[in-house]
Structure 1
Amino acid sequence: MKIENVADLRVLVETARRGSLTAASRELGVTPAAASAMLKRLEALLGARLFERSTRAMRLTVEGQTLLDYANRALELLEEGEAQLLDTGARLIGTLRISVPSDLARSVLLPWFDEFLALNPGVQISLSVSDRLADVMRDSMDLALRYGDLVDSRLVARPLASTRRVLCASPAYLARRGAPQAPEDLVKHNCLTFHLNGRRYVSWRFERGGEWTEVRISGDRGADDAALAHQWALAGVGLTYKSELDLVHDLASGALVRLLPEWDGEHYPLNAILPSNRFLPARVRAMVDFLAAKFEELAARRA
C-alpha cells in the first residue's frame, strides 16, 4: 500500500487548514464533490478515518493529525524541489523545524534567525525553545542545536562551536559578597542552578594544569530553564556557571564579570544535530551552513 496521488494529500492539508471541504475545494480549484472523493479515496487506501465530519466543520482524528504532519513535510519538499529546478535563483522555501537551547536562543540566535529569514523570504521557522534533549526523529525536527557530545548513533552531528563553561557574577553581587578566589570558595556563595539532561546541575568542575577540581554547590534558586540562571545572575542574586556562548554579550559589556580566570571550565561543544536516515532539504543545509559561518565570525570577534 502506498499513496500515489499527491492531489489527495493536498485535499487533506487544505481541509485541515480551512476547516471544510468546500473551502478546500475552492482553494484547490476543484468541485466539492471531487474533493470529497479524493479524501474518501485516501481514507480507503489507509483504512482509517482522517476527519470527524459534522454539519459545521471537519475535525482531524488522531490518525488524520499524524498523516497531516507528514503530508505537510512531503508537500514542502516537493515544492522546494520544484523551486530548485525552476527558479534560477534557487530560492529556498518551506518550514524549518528547529529545537534550540533556551538561553542560546535568547542571547545569540534570535537576531541570526531574523537575518536568515530576511535573506530567504520563502522560508518559515518553527522554533522549539527548551533545554530538554529533543528527539529529532520522534519530534519531527529538521535540526536541533545541542551542547555536549553526541551519544545517539542514529544521528549525525556537525560541530558549530567549541566553548567552555564560565563562572561569572554581576558587579553588584561581587560588591556585596566578594569574589571567590578558588573553586572551594563556591560553597560560601549563592550558586544559581539549572537542569542538565533532566537533572539539577550541582557539581561544577574546573581544571588547572591538567588537574580537575569538582565542587558540589548550592543556592536558593534553581530552574529547568537555564536562561533563568543567566537572568538571576544579571539581577545580582548569585553566581552562574554556563556556556561562554550564552554569556558572550554580557561578559563583553561588563554586565557579568568572569571569575577564577586562571581556572578553565568544562569543555562544552555545540553541535547541529540532524537525523541520519532522512533526506536533508536544501533549506536545512542552508541553515546549518549559515549558523556555522555565524559562529565562526563570533569566535573570530572573541579572539
Structure 2
Amino acid sequence: MLLNNIALFLQIVEKGSLTAAGRELRLSSTTVSERLAALEAHFGVVLLNRTTRAISLTEEGRTLVDGAKQVLGEVEDLEARIRFGAQTLSGPIRISAPSNLGRTHISGGITEFLSDHPAISIELLLSDGYVDLVGEGFDMAFRFGPAIDSSLRSKSLGHSRRFVCASPSYLEKHGAPQIPADLKEHNCLVMRFGAKLDNVWQFGPSPLPQIVSVRGNRVANDSALVQQWCLEGHGIILKSELDVSAEIKAGNLVALLENHPPSPTLLQMLFPPSRAQPRRVRALVDKLSHVLQEAEWRKG
C-alpha cells in the first residue's frame, strides 16, 4: 500500500491538484485526501502545502518526489525483467526540450527508440523556458546554456555554433548587416526565456568581443515561431546551428556576419538530482545523445 500511495502522490504533483489526480486514477477526492494523509502520517511530515487554489511541495515533498521516481522506476524495471525477460524495457518517460530541437532531432530519435522498445511510453513537452524537473516529474530535459538550478545533474553534449540569419526576401528589401553594430538598424526577432529577454547578442571573441543590444517589432517565447517569422521575411534571428542548418543548406535562410561569428552555446541534458536512473531512462539518454552527436551540425 505504501508504494501505491507514493505513486498517487506523484500523480498529485504532476497533475497539480488532488482532484485532477483522482480523476486520472478514477478515485474520489475523499479517497485521494485520505491516502495522502496516510502517506504524510507514515513519514511524519507534511508533503504538500495546500490552499483552496493551489498546492506546492514542501522540502520533504521535493525529496520524496525525487526518491519516489527512482524507487518506482526500479520496481517497474524489476517487474518487466521478471515478466518479459531481462532485455525488455517498459514504463513511462517524461522529457522537456526546446521547441525547435524537440520537433527536429529529439522527435526523430524518440521514434527510433520506441520502434525498438514498444513497451515504453514517452511524453515530450516542448518549452523554451525554465521547467521544474523535480516538481513537474520530468526524467530529463534538454537545454541550451548553463543550468539555472545547480542541484541538477547534467551531461554535456558539446557546444553548438550559432548563426545570425535572415530570409532572402528580407535581405532583398532591407540589405544585409556588414558588422554586428549594423543590427541596430534592422528588425531583429527576439526570444523571451521566462522573464529574460534575449536581446543582447555577443560576437567574438577575436579580436575583442562585441555586444549589441538589438530590438524589433516581434517577441515570442517559442523558438519555432521566431524561426517561422524569420522564414516569412519579418526580420533577423540568432539561432543555434541545430535549428537552422537545414534551412541554410536549402537556401531558405542566409547566414549573416560570417566574419563575426556569435559566441557558441552549450547544449546539455539535465536530470533530477537522484542517485540512479531507471534502465529505460538510461537507454533513452544513450540513444538521444547518439542522435545529437551524429547530427548534421557536427559534421560541418
TM range (shorter): 0.7 to 0.9
In the alignment, what sits opposite 1:224?
Answer: 221
Specify which of 281, 288, 299 is matched with residue 285 of structure 2. 288
- Partner deviation per Cα, 1:270-302 (whole Å, 9 max, x = no partner): 100012235311111111111111111115763
- Partner deviation per Cα, 1:178-223 (whole Å, 9 max, x = no partner): 1111111111111001113521111111115241111111111111
Supply the AA of the counterpart residue of 2:203: F
Instruction: Give runs of ≥4 in structure 1 deviating > 4 Å.
Output: 4-18, 38-48, 69-76
Query: Which structure is higher in RCO with an 8 Å CA cutoff and minimum separation 6?
Result: 2
- TM-superposed CA distance for 1:87, in Å, is 3.9
**SS of structure 2 residue aligned to 1:237:** coil
Alignment check: 8 A CA contact 2:189 2:226 kept: yes
TM-score (normalised: structure 2)? 0.77
Q: Distance in 2 between matches of 1:5 and 1:187?
A: 60
Q: Distance in 1 between matches of 2:124 and 2:250?
A: 28
Q: Count residues in correspondence.
A: 274
Is 1:97 aligned to residue 94 of structure 2? yes
- Within 5 A, what are the aligned runs for 1:114-193? 114-193=111-190
Supply the AA of the counterpart residue of 1:131: D
Alignment check: 8 A CA contact 2:100 2:223 kept: yes
In the alignment, what sits opposite 1:269?
Answer: 266
- TM-superposed CA distance for 1:166, in Å, is 0.9
Q: Distance in 1 between matches of 2:280 and 2:291?
A: 16
Supply the AA of the counterpart residue of 1:19: R
Specify which of 16, 19, 27 is matched with residue 26 of structure 2. 19
Alignment check: 8 A CA contact 1:208 1:262 kept: no
- TM-superposed CA distance for 1:40, in Å, is 11
Change in 2 beyond 3 A, CA 1:7/1:133: closer
- TM-superposed CA distance for 1:74, in Å, is 5.3
Is 1:109 aligned to residue 106 of structure 2? yes
Change in 2 beyond 3 A, CA 1:182/1:283: same
- TM-superposed CA distance for 1:144, in Å, is 0.9
Change in 2 beyond 3 A, CA 1:175/1:99: same
Q: Percent identity?
A: 34
Alignment check: 8 A CA contact 2:242 2:297 kept: no
Change in 2 beyond 3 A, CA 1:193/1:6: closer
**SS of structure 2 residue aligned to 1:176:** helix
- Within 5 A, what are the aligned runs for 1:205-216? 205-207=202-204, 209-216=206-213
Supply the AA of the counterpart residue of 1:207: G
Change in 2 beyond 3 A, CA 1:82/1:302: same
Change in 2 beyond 3 A, CA 1:157/1:40: closer
**SS of structure 1 residue aligned to 2:142:** strand
Alignment check: 8 A CA contact 1:133 1:146 kept: no
TM-score (normalised: structure 1)? 0.76
**SS of structure 1 residue aligned to 2:135:** coil
- TM-superposed CA distance for 1:155, in Å, is 1.4
Q: Distance in 1 between matches of 2:144 and 2:8?
A: 41
Supply the AA of the counterpart residue of 1:211: L
In the alignment, what sits opposite 1:236?
Answer: 233
Supply the AA of the counterpart residue of 1:130: S
Change in 2 beyond 3 A, CA 1:194/1:173: same
Q: Distance in 2 between matches of 1:106 and 1:162?
A: 20
**SS of structure 2 residue aligned to 1:218:** coil
- TM-superposed CA distance for 1:42, in Å, is 6.9
Alignment check: 8 A CA contact 1:99 1:145 kept: yes
- TM-superposed CA distance for 1:107, in Å, is 3.3
Structure 1: 5+ residue stretches without partners: 22-37, 49-60
- TM-superposed CA distance for 1:105, in Å, is 1.3
Q: What's the Cα RMSD here?
A: 3.6
Q: Distance in 1 between matches of 2:82 and 2:294?
A: 32
